């Protein structure tokens, strides 16, 4: 009886911890998105410089990662050769910088709620790019699912009260670059057996982002900032904003590492609905019935996509256990497979500070 009670207590503790990880990630992701919107929106803090904001994030994250790895030695470094850095990390950093730049820029033109609706296209982008790069197999039923998601987003866009063509193009570009980055991570890093946690990822990727972002910054934003003589760097605003972005990276690692990438995808759906409700009730963005109907269609499509991924993951995990005689070591292999499969839904990263 006592043994049964201890098992029940252990299961209950695991459930509570899982919900805690989900709550932390939702809170931080929610905070970063709303905070970035507040800083960039001309009607709020009125600092419409998305490249500069992204570079501040990257500088903060790179510096903190360097301190944790090289100075305080709280995180073990991952050895990466020069050739691997140039062939894998550098292009991933370039894609990441473009994704962050464009997604942050979209907050100047679009509402928080509509941006979350457009982000539902991430599975479509990941699957399409995966098929083009021969990382995924084309299936008629999956493509039909992708078309249903696209249709839902199109209906939501049709009903958008503050539709801005340039803002939509920026967000779609951000989705495309982020989807390409996810596929490239699978091709270039996971295929070579390299695993990077958020600290080591920022240690290697953040300097790349700074390098690539410095080029458009010099031509697009630096001349304007130089003319704004009244601007003073607000350490409280930008410091806390960057700290939230860094904390979000840690929350992503904690959530996926302690639960699964699929759990994060489901939590992302909850976060999107909360953001839409917040955007409508607090920020006073207009959310039309057509918006909600279209996003509802896309939401059902994304839900079915995640369900199909879960079934496929469980089937493959079962096959591995049968092939290896049900060895307990398959648990780790199943987790790795689940994370790779789950990455395709694109709900993680918003990650990260791009939100």
Instruction: Dump pLDDT digits (tens) for 82-125.
Output: 888 898 889 999 999 999 999 999 999 999 999 999 999 999 99
Residue 346: the pLDDT is: 42
Residue 261: the pLDDT is: 67
Residue 352: the pLDDT is: 46
Going by pLDDT thresholds of 50, 70 and 90, the confidence category of residue 154 is: very high
If DSSP states are collapsed to H, E and C, what string results for the chain? CHHHHHHHHHHHHHHHHHHHHHHHHHHHHHHHHHHHHHHHCCCCCCCCCHHHHHHHHHHHHHHHHHHHHHHCCCCCCCCCCHHHHHHHHHHHHHHHHHHHHHHHHHHHHCCHHHHHHHHHHHHHHHHHHHHHCCCCCCCHHHHHHHHHHHHHHHHHHHCCCCCCHHHHHHHHHHHHHHHHHHHHHHHHHHHHCCCCCHHHHHHHHHHHHHHHHHHHHHHHHHHHHHHCCCCCCCHHHHHHHHHHHHHHHHHHHHHHHHCCHHHHHHHHHHHHHHHHHHHHHCCCCCCCHHHHHHHHHHHHHHHHHHHHHHHHHHHHHHHHHHHCCCCCCHHHHHHHHHHHHHHHHCCCCCCHHHC
Instruction: Dump pLDDT digits (tens) for 230-240.
Output: 667 889 999 99
Residues across the chain: 355
Residue 312: the pLDDT is: 81
Residue 332: the pLDDT is: 44
Going by pLDDT thresholds of 50, 70 and 90, the confidence category of residue 258 is: confident
Asked if residue 214 has pLDDT above 90, the reply is yes
Closest CA to 318 of 300, 331, 299: 331
Instruction: Dump pLDDT digits (tens) for 58-86.
Output: 999 999 999 999 999 988 888 888 888 89
Residue 116: the pLDDT is: 93
Residue 8: the pLDDT is: 66
């Amino acid at each position: 009886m006592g043994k049964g009670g201890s098992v029940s207590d252990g299961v209950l503790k695991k459930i509570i911890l899982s919900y805690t990880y989900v709550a932390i990630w939702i809170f931080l992701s929610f905070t970063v998105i709303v905070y970035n919107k507040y800083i960039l929106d001309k009607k709020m803090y009125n600092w419409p410089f998305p490249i500069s904001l992204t570079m501040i994030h990257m500088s903060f994250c790179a510096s903190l990662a360097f301190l944790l790895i090289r100075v305080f030695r709280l995180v073990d470094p991952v050895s990466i050769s020069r050739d691997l850095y140039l062939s894998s990390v550098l292009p991933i950093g370039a894609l990441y910088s473009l994704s962050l730049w464009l997604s942050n820029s979209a907050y100047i033109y679009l509402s928080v709620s509509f941006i979350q609706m457009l982000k539902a296209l991430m599975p479509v982008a990941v699957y399409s790019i995966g098929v083009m790069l021969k990382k995924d197999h084309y299936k008629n039923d999956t493509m039909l699912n992708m078309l249903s998601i696209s249709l839902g987003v199109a209906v939501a866009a049709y009903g958008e009260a503050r539709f801005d063509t340039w803002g939509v193009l920026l967000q779609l570009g951000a989705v495309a670059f982020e989807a390409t980055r996810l596929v490239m991570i699978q091709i270039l890093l996971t295929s070579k057996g390299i695993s990077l946690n958020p600290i080591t990822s920022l240690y290697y990727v953040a300097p790349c982002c700074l390098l690539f972002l410095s080029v458009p910054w010099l031509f697009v934003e630096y001349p304007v900032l130089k003319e704004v003589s009244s601007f003073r760097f607000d350490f409280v605003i930008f410091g806390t904003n960057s700290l939230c972005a860094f904390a979000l990276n840690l929350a992503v690692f904690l959530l996926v590492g302690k639960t699964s990438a699929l759990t994060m995808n489901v939590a992302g759906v909850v976060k999107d609905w909360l953001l839409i409700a917040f955007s409508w009730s607090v920020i006073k963005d207009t959310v039309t019935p057509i918006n909600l109907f279209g996003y509802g269609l896309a939401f059902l499509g994304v839900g079915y996509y995640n369900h199909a991924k879960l079934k496929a993951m469980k089937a493959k995990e079962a096959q591995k256990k049968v092939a290896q005689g049900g060895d307990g070591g398959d648990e780790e292999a199943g987790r790795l497979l689940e994370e790779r499969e789950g990455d395709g839904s694109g709900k993680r990263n918003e990650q990260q500070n791009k939100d």
